Chain A
Amino acid sequence: MANRVQTVPESRAALITVVSSFSWCAVFVVLSTPVAGGQQAPTAEQLQAGQRVFVAQCGFCHGRDAMGGETGPNLTRSALVRDDTTGDRIRALLREGRTDKGMPAFRLSDADVTAMIAFIHDQKTKSESPGARRSVDPSDLQTGDAARGRAYFNGTGRCATCHSATGDLAGVANRLQGLELLQRMLYPSKSRAATVSVTQRGGETVTGTLASRDEFTIALTDATGVYRSWRTSDVTFTVKNPLDAHVEQLAKYTDDDMHDVLAFLQTLR
């Protein structure tokens, strides 16, 4: 039934993923630890002003309530928001954008940005009340069977080809829970960089971390940290991307498999 499309073994999967909530939300969840807040309470006027700017500029992707819209993540669950008590990181993000993830740069006044950040933090506080509208709680995800998940991990799913319950995944359930664990399990964006080996016309081969790739240019960062690029027409190259196996698995998982493997990973404490 499904139009099986050939999966080309390649790619900057680690660098550019679908414009997804996961791609820039979860990354920060993993990288950061909670920090207590402590900014001055914003005024009602400030919150209203912040809401006006937020809705107009950010609301479509992130939702009018900042709890996620079309394609953009729920900011009230973002660790970047959680940790950015001064607003500096949000300011920098707005200035630079994340164009590879589909987020443009914004040119807004300081007052607007300050008000908007206050609004986002206020929404975060509201979202922490029970039964928040778009939450996915760890308790929602407990339908799998850990024993079946272990069998899938070691058998059909071939997860054990690259991973080990006592090695890289030991204690994973202490580091990640709930939705974050599920998302990382399905597609661990940026967890392991792709490598590339480029052979130049003279026969010299350069290997390194894949920096970027498209139809016309291949680029890597070599062992000394130097960025190098070539026209794809001038070289031959081989990309090894550990995430390719995750992409292939997406077409193979049943929903039960997915929940079972999650249940198994949750036992790795």
Chain B
Amino acid sequence: MCWRSSRRFARALAPFVFVSAAIAQDAADGWRTYHGDDTGQRHSRLSQVTPANVHQMTLVWAFATGETAQIKGTPIVANGIVYVTTPDNVWAVDARSARQIWRYTYPANEGFHIGHRGVAIYKNTVYFTTPDAHLVALDAHDGKVKWNVVIADQKKGYWSTNAPLLIRDHLIVGVAGDFDNLPGMLKSIDPETGGTQWVFYSTPPPGSPGNPSDGATGGQMWMTGTYDPRLNLLFVGTGNPTPVLNGPARQGDNRWTDSIVAINPDTGKLAWGFQATRHDTHDWDAAEVPVLVDAPFNGALARLLLQASRNGYFYVLDRETGRSLLTRPFATTNWAKGVDQDGRPIPDPAKEPARDGRLVAPDESGGTNYRSPSFDPASGLLVVSAHDAYGIYFFKPDHGAYGWAGADYGVYGKSVLRAIDYKTGEIRWHHELGDGASGAGVLTTATGLTFTGDTAGNVLGLRTSDGKTLWHAAIGRVGNSPITYELDGRQFVLVGGGSSLYAWALPESSAER
């Protein structure tokens, strides 16, 4: 079964070998980085669990953090150890038994405790960002602090939930800071010493010459980027401009907020930028994962970058140049009058926040959000947890020009998993996930399985070809993307429900093995 599957998938993958061989994840070695590999595809080549046997999966272990905070990060699995986080907390857990090996608790602090995306690993060190925007290096063996450096000033309004991205000897660390008018900042840190190697600003720091962002601040890079070693480019999504809802205070496009930026990881220099939303007035960060795919486009093999963005649009870019190849909505939108020649939606001024309120889709939480999508190379589908939602947006001069500077309220929303054909932007299938916003990201595997969560607290195993449900379990709301890894010859599927982590696998006696 497995052998036949892999042969069949090898054939199916033939056009994509270019990408798979070069940079795809070797999940047999764990799940060592936030996205699982450099590409951000969240696609695993493990093939033991299949559409035919997924219904036999059984719970191997559950790990309860005992905290009230939901697990919103990606567990990192390396050397048989699972590292899982919530704000201020890291647990190292035996990937076989769920036995806690160590726990690290960061001292009480005043940063926002909203969520945490996970750790990074380099040699024998675990790197952890904190609500007060520090980066802490922990000994992977015992959780003892090696060093602790400040990434950004919490007193100014920065915080961090970021899972750092390791590129050779650069640890790329991002911060957030929407409630103050702060420049968007991304740092490269020396993983050995904690020293700063470079700082990239998406909007100019105070005192910069010129006015490249038209008076806007913001553009925080709070999500983990992706990397193409052949181009030696780091791709990161930037957040919304500040003041958030006050557009008149910052007339213009407000570069490079709500953008995908390509950065040289050795120098921190910008190679190109593409703005997903110009002059955003709705908090639509383009921080979502820039997914790297090498695949045919318009008849030729191309180096692509895909993003399902918070503003409800799906983008395909040429990642060598940043040139737009395709722009198409994947969730309900009503804010744009069309798409310009550069592939950017044209904001409808009538949908800017106003004194009397404007009904806008999507709402502030967006057509999608930090939850990761997954790209399945065999089918060419980007599977995205989408959100069809309306909000009402208000701004009047009394709201000022600092921080949020306006008011907005969600009206109604529902979640739908959508499988986007990367060549056309068409929705190949959809799967209803329920009213409200699902926090669950997506994992696809080489046997044609898709894992995600609904808004009712079920983890779902679907068939990637058509979205049909093959397996589910009610574990509480899934706040992260499921991952998979192989240990002792057995494929595990790991997912957080509520504040606990659950590991499934086929029964040890399964004939499938």
A residues with a Cβ closer than 8 A to B are 1-5, 8, 11-13, 15-23, 52, 55-57, 59-61, 63-64, 68-71, 73-74, 97, 99-100, 102, 104-107, 131-136, 140-144, 179, 182-183, 186-187, 212, 214-216, 246-247, 250-251, 253, 255, 258-259
Interface contact A97-B68, CB-CB below 8 Å: yes
We find that the number of chain B residues with CB closer than 8 angstroms to chain A is 75
Extra contacts, 6 of them, besides A17-B436, A55-B112, A183-B392 (Cβ < 8 A), are A1-B333, A13-B435, A18-B437, A57-B113, A140-B355, A183-B409
Q: Which residues of A contact B458 (CB under 8 A)?
A: 214-216
Known interface pairs A105-B68, A186-B411. Does A215 touch B359 (Cβ–Cβ under 8 Å)? no
Known interface pairs A56-B131, A105-B68. Does A20 touch B411 (Cβ–Cβ under 8 Å)? yes
| A22 interface neighbour in B334, B398, B411, B436, Cβ under 8 Å | B411
Q: Does B323 count as interface, using CB distance less than 8 angstroms? A: no
| B332 interface neighbour in A3, A15, A105, A212, Cβ under 8 Å | A3
Q: How far is the CA of A71 from the CA of B458 in the complex (A)?
A: 23
Q: Which residues of A contact B328 (CB under 8 A)?
A: 3
Chain A proximity mask over B93-121: 1 for CB below 8 Å, otherwise 0 = 00000000000000011111110000000
Q: Does B486 count as interface, using CB distance less than 8 angstroms? A: no
Q: Which residue of B lies closest to A64 (CB)?
A: B179
Q: Does B490 count as interface, using CB distance less than 8 angstroms? A: no
Q: Which residues of A contact B392 (CB under 8 A)?
A: 182-183, 186
Q: Which residues of B contact A1 (CB under 8 A)?
A: 329, 333, 336-338
Known interface pairs A2-B361, A3-B332, A134-B404. Does A18 touch B356 (Cβ–Cβ under 8 Å)? no
Q: Does B144 count as interface, using CB distance less than 8 angstroms? A: no
Q: Which residues of B contact A134 (CB under 8 A)?
A: 399, 404, 406-407
Q: How far is the CA of A69 from the CA of B404 in the complex (A)?
A: 8
Interface contact A246-B412, CB-CB below 8 Å: yes
Q: Which residues of A contact B334 (CB under 8 A)?
A: 2, 251
Q: Which residues of A contact B412 (CB under 8 A)?
A: 13, 17-18, 20, 186-187, 246-247, 250
Interface contact A12-B434, CB-CB below 8 Å: yes
Q: Does B364 count as interface, using CB distance less than 8 angstroms? A: yes
Q: How far is the CA of A133 from the CA of B312 in the complex (A)?
A: 29
Q: Which residues of B contact A22 (CB under 8 A)?
A: 409-411
Interface contact A70-B436, CB-CB below 8 Å: no
Q: How far is the CA of A182 from the CA of B113 in the complex (A)?
A: 32
**Smallest distance from the beta carbon of A24 to chain B beta carbons, Å?**
11
Q: Which residues of A contact B456 (CB under 8 A)?
A: 16, 212, 214-215
| A18 interface neighbour in B114, B131, B407, B436, Cβ under 8 Å | B436
Q: How far is the CA of A72 from the CA of B469 in the complex (A)?
A: 32
Closest 6 CB pairs of A and B: A20-B410, A18-B413, A214-B456, A60-B114, A3-B329, A60-B112
Q: Does B231 count as interface, using CB distance less than 8 angstroms? A: no
Q: Which residues of B contact A55 (CB under 8 A)?
A: 110, 112
Q: Which residues of B contact A183 (CB under 8 A)?
A: 392, 409, 411
Q: Which residues of A contact B460 (CB under 8 A)?
A: 215
Q: Does B390 count as interface, using CB distance less than 8 angstroms? A: yes
Q: Which residues of B contact A18 (CB under 8 A)?
A: 363, 365, 387, 389, 410-414, 435-437
Interface contact B109-A56, CB-CB below 8 Å: yes
Interface contact A140-B356, CB-CB below 8 Å: yes
Interface contact B110-A17, CB-CB below 8 Å: no
**Smallest distance from the beta carbon of A48 to chain B beta carbons, Å?**
11
| A259 interface neighbour in B68, B356, B477, Cβ under 8 Å | B356
Q: Which residues of A contact B400 (CB under 8 A)?
A: 133
Tell me what chain A mostly uses at the interface: helix, strand, loop, or mixed: loop
Q: Does B357 count as interface, using CB distance less than 8 angstroms? A: yes
Interface contact B389-A2, CB-CB below 8 Å: no
Q: How far is the CA of A184 from the CA of B334 in the complex (A)?
A: 21
Q: How far is the CA of A209 from the CA of B299 in the complex (A)?
A: 55
Interface contact A250-B357, CB-CB below 8 Å: no
Q: Which residue of A lies closest to B427 (CB)?
A: A3
Interface contact A16-B435, CB-CB below 8 Å: yes
Interface contact B432-A8, CB-CB below 8 Å: yes
Chain A proximity mask over B354-395: 1 for CB below 8 Å, otherwise 0 = 011111010111000000000000000000000111111010
Q: How far is the CA of A73 from the CA of B409 in the complex (A)?
A: 8
Q: Which residue of A lies closest to B329 (CB)?
A: A3
Q: Which residues of B contact A104 (CB under 8 A)?
A: 68-70
Q: Which residue of B lies closest to A94 (CB)?
A: B68
Interface contact A107-B68, CB-CB below 8 Å: yes
Q: Which residue of B lies closest to A26 (CB)?
A: B409
Known interface pairs A20-B411, A56-B110, A64-B179. Does A250 touch B330 (Cβ–Cβ under 8 Å)? no
Interface contact B350-A16, CB-CB below 8 Å: no
Interface contact A187-B411, CB-CB below 8 Å: yes
Q: Which residues of B contact A214 (CB under 8 A)?
A: 434, 454, 456, 458
**Smallest distance from the beta carbon of B441 to chain A beta carbons, Å?**
16
Q: Which residues of B contact A142 (CB under 8 A)?
A: 356
Interface contact A20-B363, CB-CB below 8 Å: yes
Q: Which residue of A lies closest to B409 (CB)?
A: A21
Q: How far is the CA of A137 from the CA of B389 in the complex (A)?
A: 24
Known interface pairs A3-B332, A133-B399. Does A70 touch B364 (Cβ–Cβ under 8 Å)? yes
Q: Does B491 count as interface, using CB distance less than 8 angstroms? A: no
Q: How far is the CA of A11 from the CA of B388 in the complex (A)?
A: 14
Known interface pairs A17-B412, A18-B389. Does A215 touch B469 (Cβ–Cβ under 8 Å)? yes
**Smallest distance from the beta carbon of B463 to chain A beta carbons, Å?**
14
Known interface pairs A18-B435, A104-B69, A187-B411. Does A143 touch B356 (Cβ–Cβ under 8 Å)? yes
Known interface pairs A2-B333, A3-B333. Does A255 touch B394 (Cβ–Cβ under 8 Å)? no
Chain A proximity mask over B420-454: 1 for CB below 8 Å, otherwise 0 = 00000001001010111100000000000000001
Known interface pairs A16-B455, A131-B398. Does A5 touch B472 (Cβ–Cβ under 8 Å)? no
Q: Which residue of B lies closest to A131 (CB)?
A: B398
Q: How far is the CA of A261 from the CA of B477 in the complex (A)?
A: 37
Interface contact A136-B455, CB-CB below 8 Å: no
Q: Which residues of A contact B350 (CB under 8 A)?
A: 255
Q: How far is the CA of A30 from the CA of B355 in the complex (A)?
A: 23
Interface contact B131-A100, CB-CB below 8 Å: no
| B357 interface neighbour in A11, A73, A258, Cβ under 8 Å | A258
Q: Which residues of A contact B364 (CB under 8 A)?
A: 70-71
Q: Does B228 count as interface, using CB distance less than 8 angstroms? A: no
Q: Which residue of A lies closest to B356 (CB)?
A: A143
